[in-house]
A = this chain, B = another copy of it.
Amino acid sequence: MSKQTIYYTLTDEAPALATASLLPIFGAFAKEADIELKLTDISLASRIISSFSDLLPADKQAEDGLKFLGDLTASPEANIVKLPNISASLPQLYAAIKELKTQGYDLPDYPENAQTDAEKDVLARYSKVLGSAVNPVLRQGNSDRRAPAAVKGFARKNPHSMGKWSKTSTSHADYMRDGDFYSSEQSVTMDSAQTVKIEFVGKDGSVEVKKTLPLLAGEILDSMNISCAKLRAFFEASLQEAKKDNIMWSVHLKATMMKVSHPIVFGHAVTVFYKDVFEKYSELFKEIGVNPNNGLGSVYDKIQTLPEAKQEEIKQAIQACYDTRPELAMVDSDKGITNLHVPSDVIVDASMPAMIRNSGKMWGRDGKAHDAKAVIPDSTYARIYQETINFCKTNGAFDPVTMGTVPNVGLMAQKAEEYGSHDKTFEIAAAGTMRIVDANGNVLMQHAVEKGDIWRACQTKDAPIRDWVKLGVTRARQSDTPAVFWLDENRPHDNQLRNKVETYLKDHDTNGLDIRIMSYNEAIRFSMERIIRGEDTISVTGNILRDYLTDLFPILELGTSAKMLSIVPMLEGGGMYETGAGGSAPKHVQQLMEENHLRWDSLGEFLAVAVSFEELGIKHNNEKAIILAKCLDKATGKLLDTNKSPSRKSGEIDNRGSHFYLALYWAQELATQTENAELATKFSPLAKALAAKETTIVAELAAVQGKPAGLSGYYHINLEEVTKIMRPSDTFNQALASL
């Protein structure tokens, strides 16, 4: 393996198309610093093909790019630029298989109901590519996210819209006060490596081993339980309170990521809100397969098999619920999609910042914004939103022009905390005790449980914690910014973590650094008091807060979390540079296909590659790489300032045009910098050529727009074909080639 290689990922949809234009630019510039950018295909299509390569002819086989990169994460030399990819739902998988078949890939169908061993084998292969299959393989480290200086500067000069807050806003977050995970959490740190058992003990004394867990020494193990009865009572009380107070009601969960526990919680919200319907049609709904965990939408889906009259009766029963319940917040008031239709529609880490940005309001049935009760049942993290709401009521809306920033260093590696709990989460079938027993038979933790309760265990390994503490200190030092470890003294898990943090902090030189430990409420309040004064504060948090805060603050600061720099410093010393959230933008592809205009903004790639260059330069003492990085950042800043980001409209500047300006500004920065004469000399002609031919190149790029692009593959693109589409300016291509 070359020591000067950056692995750039080929993913899906819009970012993949953009890569065909952008990577040649990065490659041309990088080679002047003896850096090679290698493209690794981890697209959904390639992951399908490689999963079945042993069954395909030689010319149809593909390397397993994801496995290659996964292996690479174990090397200190890993330097991976990771673009957004498809986390495939079943419909997307079907479509991809279908497309590949038309391209001559003799793939087996997805076995909906696998019976034979062969079918089960096929199912297992497909299961590996379904859902969030890439990040768990590549994210072999903790998380370091921040708003890059250029982005923050741009947002200050071009503030996004921010709704004003009234001091008399009645909006608030509502959460359980007991019976939730927060109230029931227990936590231990393992003295030694051993295998523990998760057991259910029935009322009759029978013991059922639910799972065995091998644990490492120093690993933190938690268990907690949500009471089904208290959860339902909470929903009912909250609904009645909202009705009485005449405020709109909404529920906010993370049913996508917390894929086992949160759909159940969501289901309870649905069956409590529509209690009359679910009680009346209890038997019928069972028969036709209604699953409230999939939302009210499931009712509308499943009743389609019923006679019209019956359907109408049920729909009227649903309507009748609205008379006795508070107004329900809408996800899409035009289409009548309520907050309770689909569990994945209201994802707390996106929906709460949106509400806070919108004056604390959500959308009502009338299509207008109203104050709302935001129900976030488990109180563990709900409190931070109430704190933020209270802060906005007191101090008014945040001002993107003046506000400071809150970067995050997050504990993420090795499925830390709740995000690794899915296989240790159980919906309790009967009353009894859930307990964890160590290798010697000692009960480490136990909870009395009732039918319907949701019990779970979470693990947090020691090595990631050590690394996270180090990362927090490093970030504080490098940014010269106060860093706050968010640890709630009322959480047993956090107290275990705090012991480690206090110990591991001693391993580092913290002299002159402002490092604090605060509970979540204190920490967010402290951070908010600072941002309204224009001051920055690093949040050093666990895994869920990492996720929530890197939406909350970016959305308030920048209007989006897609422009964050997201770095995964690997536990083994390498680094992965993620190019922003926001998905792979299927609508962008559609526009390209119809109008040959790609509105994908490669800003995330510009920022990530700059850091990738910089880290590589530091690691290999490659001065040119560091200068390339600096100049790329300056070029990105100039691109933002001169408004050369892609427009949404065909006929105006698109992704390709913005790449041209990046190349122009980057070359100009390199030509005029004085740190490295060789680079200046090298890039001077390119800078001049691109500047001289700006009009021609822009015209050539514009000329192709307005008609279909002629894209033959969607999931499995032909890179040669896409390159032709994405590099239509001969003048620009020749200038680059002359380097």
Contact = CB atoms under 8 A, between A and B. Distances in A.
Shortest 9 CB-CB contacts between residues of A and residues of B:
A168-B170, A390-B390, A168-B245, A167-B172, A168-B247, A386-B394, A166-B245, A170-B170, A167-B174
B167 A373 contact: yes
Given A167-B170, A521-B529, 15 more contacts: A166-B245, A167-B241, A167-B245, A167-B373, A168-B170, A168-B245, A168-B371, A169-B170, A172-B393, A386-B394, A390-B390, A390-B393, A390-B394, A522-B522, A522-B525
In this complex, the member of A245, A371, A394 whose beta carbon has the largest number of chain B beta carbons within 10 angstroms is A394
Nearest to A394: B386
Interface in A513-539: 521-522, 525, 529
Interface size class of A (residues with CB under 8 A): 20 to 34
Contacts of A247: 168
Contacts of A522: 522, 525
25 contacts: A166-B245, A167-B170, A167-B172, A167-B174, A167-B241, A167-B245, A167-B373, A168-B170, A168-B172, A168-B245, A168-B247, A168-B371, A169-B170, A170-B170, A172-B393, A172-B394, A386-B394, A390-B390, A390-B393, A390-B394, A521-B525, A521-B529, A522-B522, A522-B525, A525-B525
A525 B241 CA distance: 26
Interface string A375-386: 000000000001
Interface of A: 166-170, 172, 174, 241, 245, 247, 371, 373, 386, 390, 393-394, 521-522, 525, 529
Contacts of A241: 167
Contacts of A373: 167-168
Nearest to A166: B245
Contacts of A529: 521
A172 B170 CA distance: 11
A494 to B, nearest CB: 15
A166 B169 CA distance: 13
A170 B168 CA distance: 4
Nearest to A175: B394
Nearest to A167: B172
Nearest to A391: B390
A247 B170 CA distance: 12
Contacts of A245: 166-168
Contacts of A166: 245
Q: How many copies does the complex hold?
A: 2
Contacts of A393: 172, 390
A398 to B, nearest CB: 14
A234 to B, nearest CB: 13
Nearest to A383: B394
In this complex, the member of A168, A169, A529 whose beta carbon has the largest number of chain B beta carbons within 10 angstroms is A168
Contacts of A525: 521-522, 525
A565 to B, nearest CB: 31
A644 B599 CA distance: 82
Nearest to A171: B168
A390 B172 CA distance: 10
A372 to B, nearest CB: 10
A24 to B, nearest CB: 53
A295 B529 CA distance: 36
Nearest to A396: B177
In this complex, the member of A170, A247, A521 whose beta carbon has the largest number of chain B beta carbons within 10 angstroms is A170
A370 to B, nearest CB: 12
A521 B522 CA distance: 10
A529 B522 CA distance: 11
A503 to B, nearest CB: 21
Contacts of A390: 390, 393-394
A662 to B, nearest CB: 42
A174 B245 CA distance: 23
Nearest to A173: B394
A169 B371 CA distance: 12
A394 to B, nearest CB: 5
A393 B389 CA distance: 11
A394 B394 CA distance: 13
A529 B521 CA distance: 11
A614 B521 CA distance: 42
A218 to B, nearest CB: 29
A482 B467 CA distance: 34
A389 to B, nearest CB: 9
A537 to B, nearest CB: 14
A522 B386 CA distance: 16
Nearest to A533: B490
A343 B439 CA distance: 73
A507 to B, nearest CB: 26
Nearest to A519: B529
A394 B386 CA distance: 7
A168 B169 CA distance: 8
A371 B393 CA distance: 15
Nearest to A170: B168
Nearest to A174: B167
Nearest to A518: B522
A373 B170 CA distance: 14
Contacts of A167: 170, 172, 174, 241, 245, 373
A75 to B, nearest CB: 46
Contacts of A168: 170, 172, 245, 247, 371, 373
Contacts of A172: 167-168, 393-394
A386 B525 CA distance: 14
Contacts of A371: 168
A170 B522 CA distance: 24
A176 to B, nearest CB: 13
Contacts of A521: 525, 529
